[in-house]
Amino acid sequence: MKMPEPDAGVLARRAEIAQALTAIVPGDGGVIVDPDELRPYESDGLTAYRQPPMLVVLPETTEQVRRVLRYCHENGVKVVPRGAGTSLSGGALPLADGVLLGMGRFNRILEIDYDNRCVVAQPGVTNLGITKAVEHKGFYYAPDPSSQIACSIGGNIAENAGGVHCLKYGLTTNNVLGLELVMIDGEVIRVGGKHLDAEGYDLLGVLTGSEGLLGVVTEVTVRILRSPETARAMLAGFQTNEQAGDCVGRIIGAGIIPGGMEMMDGLAIRAAEEFAHAGYPLDVEALLIIELDGPEREVDDLIGRVTGIATETGASTIRISESNAEREAFWAGRKAAFPAVGRISPDYYCMDGTIPRHRLPEVLRRVTELSRQYGLRVANVFHAGDGNLHPLILYDANIPGELDKAEAFGADILKLCVEVGGVLTGEHGVGVEKRDLMTEMFSEDDLNQQQRLKCAFDPGSLLNPGKMFPELHRCAELGRVHVHRGKLPFPDISRF
Amino acid sequence: MVVSETIRPESADQLRDLLAWAASESKPLEIVGSGSKRALGRPVAADYVVELGALSGISLYEPDELVLSAGPATPLAEIETALAEKNQRLDFEPPDYGPLLSAPGGVRAGGADRTNAPPTGTLGGALMCNLSGPRRVKSGAARDHFLGFTAVSGHGTVFKSGGRVVKNVTGYDLSKLMAGSWGTLAVTTDVTIKVLPAAEKARTVLVFGGDAAIGGRAMTLALNSPYDVSAAAWLPESLAAQSAIDMVSAGKASVAAIRVEGFGPSVEYRCRILREQLGALGPTEELHSTNSVEFWKEIRDVMPFARPGDERLVWRLSVPPAAGPGIVAALAEEDGTDGFLDWGGGLVWLAVPPGAEAREPAVREAVARSGGHATLFRAPAELRGTVLVFQPQETAKAALTKRIKAAFDPAGILNPGRMYPES
């Protein structure tokens, strides 16, 4: 993975930069320069890539963030923002000549407002921390990425995090109401609030999922929802992926949007069952976990309808949770699928493409062919309702060349997703991981337009460079208007 | 007023050539779908009006995948018909402001006779203006259903963003930026949206009596309940009395309305419990089927202010929901002023007597206190040129807005001045 060439001039000024930042964030642990103490920051959730930062700064106030960014802006120093460091795409991978701006000390919930159904929090609060703060009143925060115990709400905004509930309740972007943002030049803007919809351009929408390339979030306002009266889960096992896919299509065709609808293939089922003892059937090749939530009367009704559809589409096993404990057990296997796969292989590499759901059987067949071709096993877990596929490629990093092989296999899977009409990433982000694949999905003109937006926020490309874009163009070059001199050149257009 | 020449490109390629030419010649263009929202926003001074009518038609509709792609000028009526055949719908409930904006002078009649009138407006227009109906509180805005697009930028370059799958975080989410940009950044040639199953059944619980604060309590109680409310509105007695729905007008009182949608048995169950719980605030009633549908069309389309002869100016305020009742109570105290609430209190519609000032200071001050923003929604063109139609922005945000506009449209050819005097 090629990162931007470190700037020798900046590296030579490391001590001076550390001193200047210490003046802004004084006190113990405000600025980290010791190589041993920098090591924990050298990677995020994508551990295949490692690079210690030049230094780490851990501000506590918006004012400190503002001054750190303004200093870096004025001195041409690159900045990599970091939340909890759980990114699976290398979004927080440091730069050798960059400041790593850790937001972990922004860990307070500022306001809970039930009448307006929202929570105002600092960005370092964990995703689950929001739900924990309001669940005693029967509320929760809907997006639930599987790292929700650890991942921060600020990181969720940067990556537009999803989770198993997003088919029904949306991704992060559909659940954020407001932000405070510090831009690279130190300007602070507030976007949104407790009201709905933006005034002016929808900055909230474009900042969510911008992967730390546009600014640093210092406060968030998120929407909370009243917890459903009840939730029940169903396991439906099938002999083929086609049958399971058909079942998913018919559930949605019947107008039912389940709270969650997950699919696992044979290898994933067996690994998860061995690890979590969730009670999964082992004699099936595809397993659906379908959760229906809402008022009791509705859930009972829908369980009946979905059971009928699963039976019609050839389910060989159907089990319905009879208690909350049993429902949680059904999920325990799915939620443990990644570590479970981690037990049957020294290393695994998690992919994140989205496909039009009806292409699933074809995509799985071709993934199996690729698996044979690369000589690496693959387990598939799948957010079935929205077509978000997570193939886990099993490899051993200690075998020379095997990581490269896993990466090449992963790239082939993502190219396949794009080929069938899907996209490179459904919820993990582009980061460094999929950066060089962006040209599979986007033309040069597409990427140039995205970069022009980046230029409007960060003209010097100091914020998280080396992520998302395979190649960074100079802003002046992108801003030029091409001249097509002449008269209105098309007599064939209808004019009135 | 100078009459602009109208150009109707027949294809995306012609549109691209037109924009490339206009960019190099700095010729400002007004971009129009069906023109149903031309009276919204600031008036655009353009040399040419570009009508997108040829970029119409559904190119992809996969009900099982919940996606639909179409040309931006595809009439909403055509989309809604196609979706209804598969028991699906646009969940953001796009409003039809035809009657509201054509009054005074009424091109189209208001009132009950428009029951079967097809909605005006196009899919592209609904998305670019990011205008959403009462279901906004549950299902999100137009922008939340906008998955991807192909467009021509003010550079005269074709680019795309997003995709045709419902879950996608690849690159910046430019669909969000386009939604609510009022045609000032780029002109779409193809858009893809998320569609959702239509509800099997809809009912509305009515709670009569009391002031806006009581109405606010009813709406908050309902929206904070686990009963999955899909709309919550409040009308004062004066406006409830004009409703075409007998049960609403016959109440001779203000009314809070709570909509419940979904599968039959569930809707009946939830309505029953909500009526029990809301009964403490006032007498309750229930609207079924057609009455419920028609009532929410009145709210969605701001029909209380769309009656023939109503020449008042109309403001639209988006505020924290709990602040709405206080704002409507304070502002509607003035003579000749009426207000009602949608979005559980978060959307305030206000009609004020005509006048050069449009009561702007009072409206802006109310929004400044509560947080949120206000738009001068219906006013004569001259007034929309002098009063700031959209919420004024503070300096840093205004500067960023200008840089974003320039990133997409450096020559300033696309709907110049539509949102702000200089962008």
The ipTM is 0.95
CA-CA distance, B285 to B279, in Å (whole number)?
10
- Smallest Cβ–Cβ distance between A493 and the set B9, B169, B172 belongs to B9
**Rounded to the nearest 5°, which phi and psi values hold at A105?**
-85, -10
Q: How far is A93 from chain B (nearest CA, A)?
A: 17
pLDDT one-digit tens code per residue, A328-340: 999 999 988 888 9
User: With contacts defined as CB-CB under 8 Å, which chain B residues touch A295?
Assistant: 226-228, 266, 269-270
Chain A / chain B CB contacts < 8 angstroms: 309
Nearest CA in chain A to B268: A297
Query: What is the pLDDT, as a whole number, of residue A485?
Result: 52
Q: What is the mean pLDDT of each run of 10 residues along chain B (423 residues)?
A: 81 96 94 92 93 97 95 97 97 95 49 54 96 97 98 97 94 97 98 97 97 98 97 98 96 97 95 97 96 98 94 97 98 94 98 90 96 96 91 95 97 96 75
- Smallest Cβ–Cβ distance between B197 and the set A117, A160, A255 belongs to A255
- Smallest Cβ–Cβ distance between A194 and the set B169, B225, B320 belongs to B320
Reduced 3-state DSSP string for A77-144: CEEEEECCCCCCCCCCCCCCCEEEEECCCCCCEEEEECCCCEEEECCCCEHHHHHHHHHHHCEECCCC
Query: What is the pLDDT, as a whole number, of residue A494?
Result: 59
Quickly list H helices, B50-202.
76-85, 98-102, 123-129, 136-139, 174-178
- Smallest Cβ–Cβ distance between A208 and the set B173, B227, B319 belongs to B173
User: With contacts defined as CB-CB under 8 Å, which chain A residues touch B5?
Assistant: 495-496
Check: CB of residue A122 under 8 Å from CB of residue A107: yes
User: With contacts defined as CB-CB under 8 Å, which chain A residues touch B17?
Assistant: 489-490
Strands (E) in B183-326, as ranges, are 186-194, 196-197, 201-208, 229-235, 255-262, 284-287, 313-318
Q: What percent of chain A shows pLDDT beyond 70?
A: 97
Nearest CA in chain A to B66: A252
Nearest CA in chain B to A182: B396
User: With contacts defined as CB-CB under 8 Å, which chain B residues touch A294?
Assistant: 226, 228, 262, 266
The two three-digit tokens of residue A290, written as one number: 């379908």
The verdict on a CB contact (< 8 Å) between A421 and B165 is yes
User: With contacts defined as CB-CB under 8 Å, which chain B residues touch A358?
Assistant: 62, 64-65
**Residue A116: is its pLDDT beyond 70?**
yes
| Separation in Å, CA A375 to CA A78, A368, A371, A402 | 40, 10, 6, 10
Residue B104: cis peptide before it, omega within 30 degrees of 0: yes
Rounded mean pLDDT of A447-470?
Answer: 96
Rounded mean pLDDT of A374-388?
Answer: 94
Rounded mean pLDDT of A459-481?
Answer: 89
User: Is the pTM above the cut of 0.80?
Assistant: yes
The two three-digit tokens of residue B411, written as one number: 């020559």
The verdict on a CB contact (< 8 Å) between A170 and B144 is yes
